[in-house]
Amino acid sequence: MVIAFVALVVIGPEKLPKVARTAGAFFGRLQRFVTQVKDEVNRESRFAELQTLQQEVQSSLQQGYQDIEQSILPTTPPAIEVTAEPVAAPKKPRKPRQRKVDAAAVEGVSETQPIETLPVVDAGSQAELFAVPVEEKKKTRRQRKAAQKDEDTAPVSEQKPLA
């Protein structure tokens, strides 16, 4: 009350409303600034708390991982015996090799005869698994193209008339 009376006397009744408005705006800005500073300080303190909490959780997880690892794995490494002779790796069993059927060995067998009835050539200690008749040699690409070209260029009389 005393401050309001002194302000009325010093400033005067005409300027008092304008000064009061300016003072209210100034105090409002000051109040907002103080609130922002308080919020920022609170955020920083919460962030620091979260960082310490995160470090604690990580350290406890790391400790738990190490405990589990120690309980699963042996503490001393197993002793490795070194021998003077190197141990060879076991070899894979080989499949018996197929031999080609010789045309002279297959006498009197026609091409239409099934493969199962072909005589098997004795290959010493290994028995033949399959007897394969000798096939004709495959034509080269040049020969196949020449044959196709001959087929494409048929005489004019055999071609259909154009409509």
Read off the amino acid at residue 122. D
Q: State the pLDDT at residue 50.
A: 95
More confidently predicted of 120 and 39: 39
- How many alpha carbons fall within 13 Å on the CB side of residue 108? 2
Contact assessment for residue 118 and residue 109, using Cβ atoms and an 8 Å cutoff: yes
- Average pLDDT of the chain to the nearest whole number: 76
Q: State the pLDDT at residue 11.
A: 85
Please state the domain extents for the chain: 2-72, 97-148
Q: State the pLDDT at residue 72.
A: 84
Q: Please say if the pLDDT value at position 145 is more than 70.
A: yes
Close Cβ partners of 19 (under 8 Å, ≥ 6 residues apart): 7, 11
pLDDT one-digit tens code per residue, 41-89: 999 999 999 999 999 999 999 999 998 888 887 666 666 665 656 666 6
Lowest mean pLDDT among 10-24, 85-99, 114-128, 129-143: 114-128
Angle (CA) 50 51 52, round 5°: 90
